[in-house]
Structure 1
Amino acid sequence: MSEGTKVQTEDKRLPALSMARRQVLSGAAGLACLGAIKARAATIPGTVEPPSVISQPPRAWGPKAGPSYLPDPDVIAIDPSFRDLTYFAAPIRRVWDQGGWLEGPAWSSEGRFLVLSDVIRSRALRYIWETGEITDFRPDGYAANGNCFDFDGRLVVCEDFFRRVVRWEHDGSVKVLADKFEGKGLNSPNDIVPHPDGSLWFTDPGYGTNITEGHADEPGGPTNPDGKIRWNIGRELTGEIGGTKRQSDHVFRIAPDGTLQAVLQEKDLLDPNGLCFSPDYKKLYIVSTPKGPGQKVGGDQAIHVYDVKGDGLSNGRIFADMKLNGAQLNPDGIRVDVFGNLWCGASGPLGLCGVFVFNPAGKLIGRIRLPQGCSNLTFGGPKRDHLFMCAAGSLFVLQVGVQGFAPS
């Protein structure tokens, strides 16, 4: 049976309720639902199907979740090899749901905390490992998106509002690493990853060139053509507020000496978004996403892979087209584990959205279903064996059976 057929079958089933997580049904609708559940259970003698994101009623999350079903019904092995990457006794947990739109999770091994960005509320947040609390990391995140820690443990941030990349030094000061290319302001740096040679590679689509995730262009720009949007308000600061007019999309490399180089241009890849290196740093994976503000044509919504040749890229090809069960999914953030498997957050129809896991050959081997589309993800925890998943305004966590690859 193909994965598409399997997903279709799963989405149509109506699970029986177990005593451990039985919901109280009342009224005519509840009785009808209960009758349907009993009828369904009667056709499959001896089976009890636990609630999942596709059940009716769907599984509960947080304090109302009740006892966990193990293995989790929403952790799906498409290929037997995926079972070696998961831990059967770990359920998917929603640890926070008070965000606006979460992006950019990055794990600090030294600090034992997770940094993440609430882009539309312009908050820089921190998840504390020991307590599970979410606290403010900085008073204003400047509509930050992607975050990473470099090989020296310094935090590097993509700020949509200022349309720049900055690095927080160990002494608490901030250094601007990139804010212009060939004399023009950047769009909205989105995701960023470090290389052991000291360079940083980042994508620069235009998703932050709007009111919601950053600021619109100055009058006449692609995202403010008639000049009606008051583009320069929202952050009560003096001085330069970053790029003021949407430019072409690029993938950039910041050299160790600070030189900014375009390794891909818009003609090479539209709407570049999430990116990550293979564990040997010989390949760079880049996600292409739908058209951003001010564009007529968008990306192909596939994961592309390039060979890394010194300070450049070559031999670009599609790694995964992100089509499943007749649906074109929208990939976003990506990370690899120590074996080179690629984990991708994606949005799509209920039952298909969540995390998709590919082996190094590009074969889909497993999925993690979430009730919302997954924007970004990363591995964290003291052993880097917990997968943190940002999904709309929620943060989900799943302990896995593999370690995420990261600078060490």
Structure 2
Amino acid sequence: MSPAALSRRSLLLGGVTAAGLMTARARAGTPAPLAQPSSVVTTPPRQWGPHAPAPYLPDPDILAIDPSFSNLVYGNANIRLAWRGGDWLEGPAWSTQGRFLLLSDTIRAQQYRYLWETGTVSVFRDYSYNSNGNTFDAEGRLISCEHGMRRVVRWEHDGSCSVLADRYQGAPLNSPNDVVVHPDGGIWFTDPGYGDTIVEGHPDAPGGRANRMGRERWAMDGEVVAQFAGHARQDDHVFRIDPHTGELRAVLTQQQLAGPNGLCFSPDGSILYVISSGAGPGQDGPGGDQRIHAYDLKDGDVRNGRVFADMMLDGHQLGPDGMRADIFGNLWCGAGGPLGLCGVVVYSPAGRMIGRLRLPRGVSNLTFGGPKRDTLFMCAADALFTLVVNTQGAGLS
């Protein structure tokens, strides 16, 4: 296994330890990585859960790298474990009208609803076709990315389902991953191949990049999504759905940005941020560069692409996944990596890392919610963490 073959999922799990990396790279004949940070967890080790003793204030796992970060956090708030019970949580989206947080479980193929008033979690949709990213539009309608059905759908107020996108240039999509709504109403989503796995959607076809030896059974009898497995796949794209015509247009190709994953807009909608993630589970090849890229927007087109942040921390390459902007233009990004470095990193609008939240595992995706949109919800494997902050989320979700 080469260093490039380390997947985004293993990074997010926080399971890529220095020893593991050293072994892998030694076998590949490459230099050993930097040593682990001298202190990677709270001392004494922090306990999590409803019966755990309250940590000290200010929270020792809220780390300011730049003094400006202190203005974005609330000194009397702790990071707290709000719920555990999923398999792999993704796509948190806040419903302003319903006052609840929607979550996807990509492995169980369910969607959950976290109620603000009680903190209880229940099943929202019992079978979601391995949905991943979610968002709510300006009318309060839920938009979801479905790995299993290779499509982006919108749930109307009458309960019906509208398919917004499922094909491009005559071929099925890969596995739509993350989705956001621009202030002009345009719907933007990424379409990497991360759903072409047994657990998160549909095994890739024999010879495909996630099933190169062809041993995985990709056309199981009786499976609801069997008809979607093994089709010809697209290149990875970032797409835009026109709010007036419904036209699907590719705005970034795989050659322009490999492994597109999380995406969001600046508060005024003038900048698009896209995360380029590493190879997905089981995939061969290097994947993306694991950086955050920025693009200026004009009339629905992207230009002036550049690297916004390299996601390096203490000499380690973090694995970014999802992100959201606050009203001041700071980016809050979920990241995987070695224990003690994984969690959430925060960048200023200039691309400077100003702070981070240290969690016991990597964060796949996050969003702002609550009645004042000042609570940060963080999905980390099977757990949901929260933190009250001194800023608010920009955009719809």
With the shorter chain as reference, the TM-score category is: 0.7 to 0.9
RMSD: 2.1
% identity of equivalent residues: 60
Pair 1:289-2:315 in alignment? no
Q: Is residue 124 from structure 1 mapped to residue 150 from structure 2 by the alignment?
A: no
1:3 match: none
Shift of 1:116: 0.6
Q: Report the equivalent of 1:140.
A: 127
The CA distance in 1 between the partners of 2:183 and 2:119, in whole Å, is: 31
1:228–1:67: structure 2 CA closer, same or farther, 3 Å change rule? closer
1:160 paired with 2:186, answer: no
Q: Which residue of 2 aligns with 1:100?
A: 87
8 Å CA contact 1:330, 1:346 repeated in 2: yes
How far has the Cα of 1:327 moved from its partner? Answer: 0.4
Query: 1:110 corresponds to which residue?
Result: 97
5+ unaligned residues in a row in structure 2: which ranges? 1-33
C-alpha offsets along residues 132-156 of structure 1, whole Å, 9 cap, x if unaligned? 0111001112111100001111100
Residue of structure 1 equivalent to 2:266: 278
Matching residue within 336, 339, 342 for 1:353: 342
- Counterpart selection for 2:392 from 400, 403, 406: 403
Task: Identify which of 67, 72, 79 aligns with 2:59.
Answer: 72
Letter of the 2:248 partner, please give it. L
- TM-score, normalised to structure 1's length? 0.85
CA contact (8 A) 1:115 1:127 kept: yes
- Residue aligned with 1:63, SS: coil
Query: For residues 249-288 of structure 1, what are the structure 2 equivalents within 5 Å?
Result: 249-256=236-243, 257-288=245-276
Give the partner amino acid of 1:277. F
Mapped to 1, the partners of 2:228 and 2:155 lie a distance apart of 18
Note closer, same or farther for the CA distance 1:175–1:60 as it changes in structure 2 (3 Å cut).
Answer: same
CA distance in 2, matches of 1:375, 1:239: 27
Residues 376-405 of structure 1: CA distance to partner in whole angstroms, max 9, x if unpaired? 000000000000000111100000010111
Shift >6 Å, 4+ stretches: none
Secondary structure of the equivalent of 1:81? Answer: helix
Give the C-alpha shift of residue 235 in structure 1.
Answer: 7.0
1:74–1:370 Cα contact (<8 Å) kept: yes
- Contact 2:182 2:269 survives alignment (8 Å): yes
Counterpart selection for 1:12 from 38, 44, 52: 38
Q: Which amino acid aligns with 1:12?
A: S
Higher-Rg structure is: 1
Letter in 2 for 1:264: L
Q: Indicate how the Cα distance of structure 1 residues 324 and 236 shifts in structure 2: closer, same or farther if over 3 A, else same.
A: same
The match for 1:328 is 317
Alpha carbons of 1:290 and 1:234: their partners in 2 closer, same or farther (altered >3 Å)?
farther
For 2:117 and 2:354, locate their aligned partners in 1 and report how far apart those are by CA, in whole Å: 32
* CA distance in structure 2 between the partners assigned to 1:224 and 1:114 by the alignment: 35
Number of residue pairs aligned between Structure 1 and Structure 2 = 362
CA contact (8 A) 2:109 2:126 kept: no
The 2-side partners of 1:136 and 1:229 are apart by 30
Is 1:176 matched up with 2:163? yes
| Match for residue 183 of structure 2 among 183, 196, 204 | 196
Residues 11, 54 of structure 1: 8 Å contact kept: no
After superposition, the C-alpha distances for 1:59-114 in whole angstroms (9 at most, x for unaligned) are 00112321331110000111111111111110000011211111100000110000
Once the two structures are TM-superposed, the CA of residue 234 in structure 1 deviates from its matched residue by: 8.3
- Residue identity in the other structure for 2:54: P
Structure 2 CA distance for aligned equivalents of residues 100 and 86 of structure 1 = 29
- Pairing 1:341–2:330 present: yes
* Letter matched to residue 125 of structure 1: Y
Distance in 2, Cα, partners of 1:186 & 1:271? 14
SS in 2 for 1:82: helix
Deviations 1:28-84 (A, max 9, x none): xxxxxxxxxxxxxxxxxxxxxxxxx71355100112321331110000111111111
Residues in 1 aligned to 2:284 and 2:179: alpha-carbon distance in whole angstroms: 23
Is the alpha carbon distance of 1:222 and 1:10 closer, same or farther for their aligned partners in structure 2, counting shifts above 3 Å? closer
Which deviations, in whole Å up to 9, do the C-alpha atoms of 1:124-181 show, x marking residues without a partner? 1111111101110011121111000011111000001111100000110001111100
Query: CA, structure 1 residues 297+377, in 2 after alignment: closer, same or farther (shift >3 Å)?
Result: same
> Is 2:172 aligned against 1:185?
yes
Residue 362 (str. 1) matches residue 351 (str. 2): yes
- 1:348 and 1:373 in contact (8 A); partners too: yes
Rounded to whole Å, the distance in 2 between the matches of 1:334 and 1:73 is 23
Aligned position for 1:22: none
The answer to whether the 8 A contact 1:345-1:377 is kept is yes
Per the TM alignment, residue 245 of structure 1 is displaced from its structure 2 partner at its CA by 3.2
Moved more, 269-278 or 284-293: 284-293
Question: In structure 1, what is the equivalent of residue 25 of structure 2?
Answer: none
